[in-house]
């Protein structure tokens, strides 16, 4: 999937160190919770991915990113492109 996107990153997302993914972008990630390696605009990080599949309804998936990395790389209201790179690393720009 080459055109995966995040949801709009909010100021609250940045404060809480998270990036959210809509249902179509979840296909790029594994179906279970796990730690993934990523590169956010040239800054490597390790974060926890949670697909958040609930019994009542699917929710937006969440990737935790160190707050310091997120604050340096992203501004509120941005939508980021996501690809899966070599070795399973997620590239977010």
The pTM of the whole model exceeds 0.95: no
DSSP reduced 3-state for 10:
coil
Give 15-59 pLDDT, tens digit per residue: 999 999 999 999 999 999 999 999 999 999 999 999 998 778 778
- Give the Å distances, CA to CA, from 20 to 16, 24, 87: 11, 12, 22
Query: 64, 21 in Cβ contact below 8 A?
Result: no
Residue-range domain boundaries for the chain: 4-92
Q: Quick one: pLDDT band at residue 1, thresholds 50, 70, 90?
A: very low
CATH number of this structure's domain 4-92: 2.40.330.10
pLDDT digits (tens, 9 = 90+) for 74-90: 999 999 999 998 888 99
Which residue in 77, 70, 25 sits closest to 52, CA to CA? 25
DSSP 29: S
């Amino acid at each position: 999937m080459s055109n995966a996107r995040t949801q709009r990153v909010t100021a609250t997302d940045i404060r809480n160190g998270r990036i959210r993914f809509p249902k179509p972008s979840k296909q790029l990630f594994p179906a279970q919770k796990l730690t993934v390696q990523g590169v956010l605009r040239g800054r490597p990080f390790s974060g926890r991915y949670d697909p958040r599949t609930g019994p009542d309804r699917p929710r937006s998936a969440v990737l935790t990113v160190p707050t310091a990395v997120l604050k340096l790389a992203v501004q509120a209201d941005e939508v980021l492109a996501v690809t899966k790179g070599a070795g399973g690393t997620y590239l977010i720009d």
